[in-house]
Structure 1
Amino acid sequence: MFEARRAEQAALETAEAAAAHFVSPAMQAMSPGESGHKHLRDLLDGSHFIGIRVFDQSGNWAYEVWDESSNRIATTTLPSRPTWPPMGESRRTWISVAQDGLIQVVLPLAGGDGRLVGYIEGFYRLAPEVLLHQREQIRNGVLMAAVSALATGVALYPLLLSMFGHATALSDRLMNANFSLVHALGKSIAKRDIDTDAHNYRVTLYAAALAEEMGVSPNEIPHLVIGAFLHDVGKIGIPDHILQKPGRLSAEEFEVMKTHTLMGLEIIAGIHWLEGAAEVIRHHHERIDGKGYPDRLAGEEISLHARIFAVVDVFDALVSARPYKAAISPSEALAILEREAMQHFDADVVNAFNRIALSLHGEVARATEADLHRAIRPLWLRCFKKETAPQEPFRKSITR
């Protein structure tokens, strides 16, 4: 850097010497374009200047002289008009031309009365050792910047690690709060319908495994999981004499029971992260043939999540004992699902469930209620805490 400053100072001093030549009375009396400036050529020969240009006070070209070896540079790459500095100041600019490094120096010319009479511009070629030193300074500066950035990163690492730990702990607390909310909603209906609690856990595990069997994106399965767990939350609003009736419901009672799907939507309304569960809560009683409720959707108008859940919901109801009916075997339940395919259920979903139903039911049937509660926890981690969740299939959550 010292060499660069020294080169700038040398260029300025040489340009000032040329300026003194031009403000002499003899030179000011010459007409533009006259070539009586042997002194300028002497400056070129005795310095690192490759060219000098002189302009009048309006910035119009008056004289110029160039080192013969630098004519190509002068005519092709240098600016035709510099930026003029105010009186008493100079302007120095570093210019890179081909393999040369130049310093452009511009000075105002003052007459004997101190008024502006023109400008002089010189182009000073830097010595090779100065250019080499400058490049080394740049390279060393970049290296020092990189080292400083790395050192700063190392110094901040404990702080960043601590911040990451706090963020992770906050994420854990948020996930636990969300899980507690869903669990509380599930428990609230279980207090009124004793069969619902274990059913919620079973159908959630069934639905996650079936979705994975069908190749549903892992990013979509969390919505299905929450919807499955909360599918009957709207039954909180059904009167006890209907909800807990041991026998078949009358037509009027069944119409009331059907409203639980829309009541469920009202319960989760306004909870942003539960919005993905709405499809299952609202449409798990729709049918492929369009004869379901509440919207009488048909075919693929029904979301895949709701079509998946409809199959596992009915399957679990068939293989589970209720006050008003006995349980049937898994094979019998699958036979019913196959008969109802393309009417009540999506045939592709039924076929996929057939591939895993017997082994999956065997695992779930052996599980106690406490086992089911424990099984849901790692499934929750798989859904909502992807960065630390295990990568094995969802079915592994049942038997872990």
Structure 2
Amino acid sequence: MNSNSDFIPVSKPYLTQEAKTFVVDCLDSGWISSKGAYVERFENEFAEKCGAKHAISVSSGTAALHLALLCLGIGSEDEVIVPDLTFAATANAVILCGATPVLCCVNKDEWTLDVNDAEAVLSDKTKAIIPVHLYGNPARMHEINDFAKRNGLSVIEDCAESLGATLDGRYLGTFGDMGCYSFFANKLLSTGEGGMVTTDSDALALKIRTLRDHGMSTEKRYWHDIAGLNYRMTNIQAAIGVSQLNVFDEFAKARSEQEALYKKYLTDVPGVIFKRVIKGAIPVNWLMSLRIDEALSGISAAELQGILTEHQIESRLFFYPLHQQPPYSNERAALKSTDVLSSSGLSLPTFVGLSCEDIQRVCEIISTAITNRQRSLSK
């Protein structure tokens, strides 16, 4: 953590006093591992919040994806369609199952999976598709579900960055067979590490719970029906999760207000482009993410990041496209479109406690940098 009082991080968690109270309660009770009242309470309250029948807590968002794939029987010789622009965990979970992630283009305006390109990469080995609601923006779930149904595919929603976002009044994570969430420290709801799988299927929920708990029988302790994993959430993490869930709506509202301020100050700045939101969707402001069109602004996203750093403001460039990276290397020509989106993306400070003055300062630096660059180029 930078100690400079002028430093603005790109993200940081916000823990309430209730979180400390619940954690101390865990310590006093002695229930600090995966057994304890807070685990079940967190799962039940999370399911109710999202409108899902089941919520199964796990040790991370990656574990959630891995378990979701495993319980569908995804394995060797299978293919799973994933968007080219996402955090690597989406593809890593597929590889951990012995299957092959097949990279799909993303829409340059919405930043989410392009269903038309999914049609292009479909094969007789394709068994599932993982739409990612990138940077809190809902993917086209109705079209994706139609595509999946026509082709007999399972749908796993990667909701790591989109808890609280809705489409046609329904929470994301309830459109596919399963929804997978992350509670890493930079997420809207954080337990430090941790994750959740939601589903309306009793059978899938039972499989996930069994795989998560070493493959142990729910009827006969220490009897293992299958070889499983230890992907359990601790009672301490769940206690923090319960406290976060209690104030989640307030957190989401604060981030929404921050997004409105960013747009107020940056909408008329040349070259600043915000994501397009599909009809019926209400995104969440996980990180205030936007694109910098260098042709219009005269400056690249990477250069702006450097200028912000000089002013003690942390920011993040978009994820590298998966097709550029060694484990997922893919030379399909269509994926080159992701390069432009990735290289032009920039995420700005977003967290509970970020002040209006902080946002104004960030925006002034961006606006001034673009103005100065345009002036120098026009000489």
State the TM-score, normalized to the length of structure 1: 0.20
Normalized per residue, the structure richer in helix is 1
TM-score, length basis structure 2: 0.21
Larger Rg: 1
